[in-house]
Amino acid sequence: MTNQLLFNICNSIAMLGWLLLLTAPKWKWTGRIIIGFIIVLLALIYLYTIATTFDPSVMESFSRLDGVMALFTNETAVLAGWVHYLAFDLMVGMFIVSNADKNNIKHYLTIPALLGSFMFGPAGLLLYLIIRWVKTKSYFMSYPEIKKD
The domains of the chain are located at 3-136
Could you tell me which residue, 81 or 63, shows the higher pLDDT? 81
Q: What is the mean pLDDT of the chain?
A: 91
3-state secondary structure at position 144: coil
| Residues 36-65 as b or e (16 or more Cβ within 10 Å = b) | eebbebbeebbebbbeebeeeeeeeeeeee
Q: Specify the pLDDT at position 87.
A: 97
Mean pLDDT for the stretch of residues 82-102: 96
Q: Is 3 exposed, middle or buried (0-12, 13-18, 19+ CB in 10 A)?
A: middle
The amino acid present at 5, given as its one-letter code, is: L
Q: How far is CA 48 from the centre of its chain?
A: 18
pLDDT of residue 149: 66
Instruction: Give mean pLDDT, residues 113-140.
Output: 94
pLDDT in tens, 109-122: 999 999 999 999 99
79, 127 contact by CB (below 8 A): no
CA distance 147 to 145: 6
Q: Record the pTM.
A: 0.87
The reported pLDDT for the residue numbered 139 is 77
Query: Worst-scoring range by mean pLDDT, 82-86, 97-101, 139-143?
Result: 139-143
Distance CA 112, CA 128 (A): 8
| Residue 133 CA to its chain's centroid (Å) | 22
